[in-house]
Amino acid sequence: MPVEEFVAGWISGALGLVLGHPFDTVKVLGFFKGMSFPLASVALVNSVLFGVYSNTLLALTATSHEQRRAQPPSYTHVFIAGCTGGVLQAYCLAPFDLIKVRLQNQTEPRAKAGSPPPRYRGPLHCAATVFREEGPRGLLRGSWALALRDTPTLGMYFVTYEWICRHYTPEGQTPSSATVLVAGGFAGIASWVTATPFDVLKARMQMDGVQQRAYRGTLDCALTSLRREGPGVFFRGLTLNSARAFPVNAVTFLSYEYLLQAWR
């Protein structure tokens, strides 16, 4: 099994996170709050995504990464490989993402005399507290919404990237850096257009249980949110997600492609 894609995915994920973390945390609270933990975890998850995607595509087409420009795979194969990467990424990401969301939503003051201590003292304490109070399933809270979000979304993500690269690259040639940047950026936007409703549900499911249980499951969360706040609730944050998606995914794909070319 080729391992370069896993390593390149790890590094490119870390670079993308450094660029996109301020946008991500603005959705909740704090600008660079909780960055050290996702820097490691998102890099790991991105490694899984790109590694599984590339190796699934290799299994489907018997075509390695460097051969794909000469023998491009079908968009069906690209979509299937992206969905496969999305499923595995979702379940790897779920505990890390839950911890990140809870730390970002932690608003207790730390410096004022007499103020109560923060509920979570850090990522490990957060994980231990969730495990103790909510059990092992607590760490996977929101994983269904995450899998629903990432499976079709990442299929579309890679299809969009491949389509733009092929459309603006002469046959058999390697896409230019400008093409990779544009393709990666628009792939990120396209993925978030479909992902945002599931992202809203995911965040709500992950915060459920901090004070008291509000939802019986993902479907109940969706129906309750729709009834209380209307259909617009499922597109909350779309503008910010799209603004974040373009530069983050442009850098992610450019660094990923550059690393693979440099090693080969």
pLDDT tens digits, the chain, 264 residues: what are they? 568 888 888 788 777 766 665 555 544 454 344 455 656 677 788 889 999 999 999 999 988 877 777 788 999 999 999 999 999 988 888 888 888 778 877 754 454 555 667 788 888 888 899 999 888 888 888 788 788 888 999 999 999 999 999 999 988 788 999 999 999 999 999 998 888 888 888 778 777 765 567 787 778 888 988 899 998 888 888 888 888 889 989 999 999 999 988 887
Q: What does the pLDDT read at residue 69? A: 75
- Number of compact structural domains in the chain: 1
In 3D space, the residue among 33, 41, 76 whose CA is nearest the CA of residue 57 turns out to be: 76
In 3D space, the residue among 108, 133, 139 whose CA is nearest the CA of residue 121 turns out to be: 108
Q: What does the pLDDT read at residue 19? A: 67
Cα distance between residue 255 and residue 237, in whole Å: 27
**Residue carrying the six token digits 């850096």:** 177
Cα distance between residue 160 and residue 184, in whole Å: 8
Cβ neighbour number for residue 71 with a 10 Å cutoff: 11
In CATH, what number is assigned to the domain containing residue 202? 1.50.40.10
Q: What does the pLDDT read at residue 178? A: 96
Structural contact between residues 80 and 60, judged by C-beta atoms closer than 8 angstroms: yes
Q: Buried b vs exposed e over 180-198: b needs ≥16 C-beta within 10 Å?
A: bbbbbbbbbbbbbeebbbb
Q: What does the pLDDT read at residue 27? A: 47
Q: What does the pLDDT read at residue 40? A: 65
Q: What does the pLDDT read at residue 39? A: 64
The pTM of the full predicted model, rounded to 2 decimals, is 0.79
Q: What does the pLDDT read at residue 31? A: 38
What domain range is 78 assigned to?
4-263
Q: What does the pLDDT read at residue 32? A: 40
Cβ neighbour number for residue 5 with a 10 Å cutoff: 24
Q: What does the pLDDT read at residue 177? A: 95
Cα distance between residue 241 and residue 105, in whole Å: 18
